[in-house]
Amino acid sequence: MAFSVPTLNEFVRISENKMSSAFGGESSVLRKSVTKVIARVFAAVAYLVVLMLQKMWRNSFVTSCDVETLLSNGVDFDLPNKPEGYARGRIIVGSENVYARVLQGTIFSTPSGEEFEVVADVVLSGGINGTPVGIIAIEPGEKGNLSAGTELNFRDVEPEGVKKIAFVDSQGLVGGIRIEVLVNGNVEYWGETVEQYRERILNFKRNQPCGGSDNDYKSWAERFGGVSRCIPLRNCPHVGAVTCVLVHYGDDDHIAVNEAVVSEVRDYVTDDVRRPVTADVRVVSCTEKSLNFEIKIKPNNSDVQKSVMDSLRIALRNYKPGEFVANSSLTAELKSSSSAEKVAVYKVNGSTQGFSLAKSEESGYEQPVVDGEVTWSSYADS
């Protein structure tokens, strides 16, 4: 159990009282000023010992340990922190010649200066639709995350027969992340925050691997940068199958994971070393379900609106494909976690009841995103 730590001044007072009591306030050997100095030395030593014990106590538990001890736990469990992430995905490159080639290592750049490297040789197919080409950012971090349709140019001279301008495909470039963390006085760059790493280690300790449980698939997938959440669906799409739905929560409302990240996770999760021999395992990205909201709040001002929006985004992360989300349940979540005096989710996509999240190969595995229109109105007093 935790204990309170006396302050240094309290230790000094206790030590002085004990010294004074031991020598009756006077001594033919020690003057009063000398006993005060000795009392302060004793107090400082005792205070240092207590601080050391407090640090040892805190580091005994994953929930309270410092980052250095957290990394040591990660080594013991073979669960390292996520490294800084490089944005990756595909671009569409057009060509005039069917057999034009884009070679591995070719550099594309954006007008703002971000650079990306082609990961493998690609023979272009020509035609009006262009050819997908896999690329990865040269520098880690969020600057490499680009939305669909963003233009890129060849940094150097484009190959013969290849169009100069390329476009990011519909899945975008995602996975770029760079978080500064102080370890042993030195700055390191991670692909997750310290508290996110702590949560993963806690989850591993509380739910040890057991041959293909929901948590096994979750921990396997969430080891990767660009994956914030894995939702394992049992017996989906058929009995004996497992579908792992990947979600990424970034700085915007885009939560789908692109094929480059899905492929990395799929190769790891379906490796025979991990995958239960009886399971048909599939790894897919979530499908974004765009939502429009009509919300009543009191008071109706910008600060409360921001608080409700932040709470709404967090609340929507608790649902999974196949569920029906009632407006009343969202209202209850927002009441408990936002700064609004009163709040009511009146309509979602025009419905006063709620909305459903698809769960099938045909319709996709939907997760809600707040990228539609949010209409605010004042909550009338009853």
DSSP result, 305-363: HHHHHHHHHHHHTT--TT-EEEHHHHHHHHHHHSS-SEEEEEEETTBSSEEE--EETTT
pLDDT over threshold 70, residue 148? yes
The structure's pTM equals 0.73
Please give the structure tokens belonging to residue 39: 């009392």
Mean pLDDT for 333-357 is 91
Question: Which has the closest alpha carbon to 88: 176, 160, 196?
Answer: 176
What dihedral do alpha carbons 314, 346, 246, 198 form, nearest 10°? 10
- The contacts found for 303-306 with CB under 8 angstroms, 24 or more apart, are 303/339, 304/338, 304/339, 304/340, 305/376
CATH number for the domain formed by residue range(s) 88-168: 2.40.30
Whether the pLDDT of residue 382 is over 50: the answer is no
Asked if pLDDT for residue 26 goes beyond 70, the answer is no
Average pLDDT over residues 99-120: 91
Distance from CA of residue 111 to its chain's centroid?
A: 28
Please spell the DSSP secondary structure of 168-199, one letter per residue. Answer: E-TT-BB--B-EEEEETTEEEEESS-HHHHHH
At 116 the pLDDT is: 96
State how far the Cα of 227 lies from the Cα of 221, in Å rounded to an integer: 7
Question: How is residue 352 written in tokens?
Answer: 């006063």
The pLDDT score that the predictor gives to residue 68 is 92
- pLDDT, one tens digit per residue, over 248-275 is 987 777 888 988 899 999 999 888 888 7
Q: Residue 81, Cβ neighbours under 10 Å: how many?
A: 24
User: Within the chain, how many helices (H) and strands (E) appear?
Assistant: 8, 21
Contacts of 105 by beta carbon, 8 Å cutoff, 6+ apart: 117, 118
Q: Please spell the DSSP secondary structure of 19-47, one letter per residue.
A: HHHHTTT--SSS-HHHHHHHHHHHHHHHH
Amino acid 97: pLDDT: 73
Question: Where are the chain's structural domains?
Answer: 8-58, 88-168, 207-230+244-283, 288-378
* 84 pLDDT tier (thresholds 50, 70, 90): very high
Q: Which amino acid is at 310?
A: D
